[in-house]
Structure 1
Amino acid sequence: MKFKPHYIYFFCLALIVTLIFYSGYVPASAQNFSKRDAAYWPFATNSPWNMPIGSKAKFEPVSSPQWTTNALKYGFIINSTDYTIPVYIATYSDPIRKVYRTDNKTQGYVAFQQRVPDSAKPSPGGDAHLAIIDQTHSYVTEMLRGKRRSDGNLEAPFPNKIDLRGTGIFKDYHGSCAYGGSCIAGLIRKGEIKTGINHALRISITTAVLNKNAPAGKPYVWPANTADDGDGRSYKGTGNVYMGSLLAIPPNVNIEEIASKGTPAYNLAKALQDYGAYVVDRGHLNLYAEPTAKDEVKTLMYNSSIPKYLQVVVNNSPSSVGGGGKRRRPLAPPV
């Protein structure tokens, strides 16, 4: 008995599908999300916050003499309770509140009206950050030195509304962080440290390391558009780390030699190798997690085994995000 070619094709296809079903194997392309919720995984596919490190990335060791003696002294500090960015997601049943702008020129000006959960409150600490995502998961309102008024409304000197489908970065200051872009960008969200982080992280660096004299004569490099105090006057460092610099673990480092696979430390190190971390603020050596993830990241506090591998990606730019070349991870799906 002879089988026609198209019968053989369908027989083989059915066999492959059966084997996949019973083995539990899912092809890599099928494992990728077809679409994502911007409230939990924000910003466009081409955003530097979602762009994996490329094969053409050029790494240089941190050249500041204060990197080892100062920045690495205590390891990573994970801000998850104070001086972090609490994120609240509004629903259609939340009350509509006013967000007042209270800088010196616009006292009492209503910047926005939007639904705000009654539980929403700024982070403890002088920065008092607060981020509220709207009920359609389309934009986030970010506040620095935010306050909740007795009538339930909110106020902040410069509240900003940021499109979650955009890049999260801007040509001019637009956000609530020193680097001039979105403050929820790079934030470790609840569940990510367990399942894996699919984006670049936000990091702050001590002023003893930050150099205010960037190559273009500005106190920052892309994707930053400004610096602390506008001119980075507090930065005392020399070397190759600037506001906006991309730090990452080089590809020749075996992450499994740093941490056991599947552990929080491994997932953090893997994210730093595949995506890196952008300098967004001055601080110690801080990474940031939303408060709801505090229990998940507590074992990473003062971790000194990971940050010592960080180097500067010196060819990160708008035309070669993450250094360019073949990406270490698949691109983020559309929002």
Structure 2
Amino acid sequence: MNIMTILTNRRQQLLLLVVLITIVAILSLHYSPTSSQIVTRDKFLWPFSSRSPWNMPIGSNARYIKANIEKAQNISIDKEYFYKTNSKHPLRPVYAPGTWGQGRCTGTKSMNIYLPIPDTLIIPDATIYPYYTPNNASAFLMADGKTLVQLQPLTRCQQAGSIYGWHYYPDINIYGDGIGGAHFGSGLSSIGGSIRKGELTNNQPIRHALKVLLWAKKYLYYTNSIPGYRWPANRADNYAAQVYGGKNPALVQGTLLAIPPTVKTHTLNLQTSAAKKIFHALQDYGAYVVDDSAWDSHDIAVEQGVNEEFRKIYGYDLNNKNGKFYGELMRLFQALYIVDNNNPNSIGGGGIPRVALAPPIAN
């Protein structure tokens, strides 16, 4: 090959390279996302960092072991209350509840905080007949836009009155990992992991872990060496040594449960759109055990108002025991496995996340 041929070939190669670079540049400019296409999220509706346990997907290295959760006699919802405070509202003192049952608004021990809330806000007391002692975990986003104050069981019996609930301390930052909170059976968040309004009725997937409550007498394990909890929980119920009766050392407060990737919606014969949504959330993110349901019931934590909008769309309650949806929820719980290698260094089990991480917070 002579020198002229070599030079000609090189000129052609350079020309081709210039053409390719130009095409790539044009395509890049044409397909660059606009600001309206960049996905972000609202901190109040979808709180905490993208690598928070509440937002971290299950990973490809997740190690699944059997949870052996059986069908329960009941399905319940654990209502949670979330508020963005307004400094224009009057400050009201917070007291510890007088009792766990009826009479919560009789407490006199100050929690040494005041919250600005509208005088019209009422959160009813527990009742004896019927017996109803809701957890009422709650979170208040303060006026600084970052501090979350968490109480349980939130109660306010009269307009313009005091507020009642034990205060989780320290307060946490909504931009942080969001682990701690007023689910005092585990020390886990009031707001992280809660099914929010719209999430079961819109056409978008649930993009975070869930929270569940299991019957501790049947399922949760306790010994002196495994005292009823694991990360991210930092405690068990104060009656754990006497009541917890589970046989599986891996199933405690703070356990991450998830549906293995080999299971499909048709495997579980899921037909309702809501059950399919919950299935995908449980498979992609899982659910943390955060409290004791205290009876033969599987409970799911939801924001106050979720059940009402669910009923309006579907014609029945989330905790309806008579119908197709109840059976589907039971099959979902029975399909749950324990992600046994969930820990601070491998949240969700580590490896490649099943789905994309949560987008940046916009506000």
Residue in structure 1 matched with residue 192 of structure 2 by the alignment = 185
Distance 1:307-1:245 versus aligned 2 partners, 3 A rule? same
Aligned partner of residue 219 in structure 1, secondary structure? coil
Structure 2: gaps (5+ residues): 1-11, 100-106, 127-131, 320-325
Q: Is the 8 A contact 1:111 1:159 kept in 2?
A: no
Q: Is the 8 A contact 2:50 2:56 kept in 1?
A: yes
Distance 1:120-1:185 versus aligned 2 partners, 3 A rule? farther
Distance 1:327-1:215 versus aligned 2 partners, 3 A rule? farther
Matched, 1:322 2:348: yes
Whole-angstrom CA distance in 2 between matches of 1:43 and 1:9: 41
Aligned partner of residue 207 in structure 2, secondary structure? coil
Alpha-carbon offset, residue 165 of structure 1: 1.8
Q: Which has the larger radius of gyration?
A: 2
Amino acid at match of 1:223: P
In percent, how many aligned pairs have the same letter? 29
Whole-angstrom CA distance in 2 between matches of 1:90 and 1:289: 20
Matched, 1:152 2:152: no
Amino acid at match of 2:42: D
Instruction: Give the count of matched residue pairs.
Output: 312
Q: Is the 8 A contact 1:209 1:241 kept in 2?
A: no
Whole-angstrom CA distance in 1 between matches of 2:148 and 2:269: 35
Distance 1:136-1:224 versus aligned 2 partners, 3 A rule? same
Q: Is the 8 A contact 1:188 1:288 kept in 2?
A: yes
Q: How does 1:7-46 map to 2 (within 5 A)?
A: 9-10=21-22, 14=26, 33-34=39-40, 36-46=41-51
Q: Structure 1-normalised TM-score?
A: 0.79
Aligned partner of residue 132 in structure 1, secondary structure? strand
Residue in structure 2 matched with residue 308 of structure 1 by the alignment = 334
Aligned partner of residue 115 in structure 2, secondary structure? strand
Q: Is the 8 A contact 2:183 2:290 kept in 1?
A: no
Residue in structure 1 matched with residue 231 of structure 2 by the alignment = 222
Whole-angstrom CA distance in 2 between matches of 1:192 and 1:154: 29
Whole-angstrom CA distance in 2 between matches of 1:285 and 1:323: 24
Q: Is the 8 A contact 1:162 1:182 kept in 2?
A: no
Q: How does 1:91-102 map to 2 (within 5 A)?
A: 91-101=86-96
RMSD: 3.4
Amino acid at match of 1:111: N
Matched, 1:62 2:67: yes
Residue in structure 1 matched with residue 263 of structure 2 by the alignment = 253
Matched, 1:169 2:179: yes
> In the TM superposition, what whole-angstrom CA distance separates every residue of 1:288-330 from its partner, at most 9, and x where no partner exists?
2112211327565423332221111111112211111110111
Q: Is the 8 A contact 1:98 1:154 kept in 2?
A: yes
Whole-angstrom CA distance in 1 between matches of 2:76 and 2:26: 50
Alpha-carbon offset, residue 6 of structure 1: 5.6
Matched, 1:73 2:92: no
Alpha-carbon offset, residue 120 of structure 1: 3.6
Alpha-carbon offset, residue 103 of structure 1: 7.7
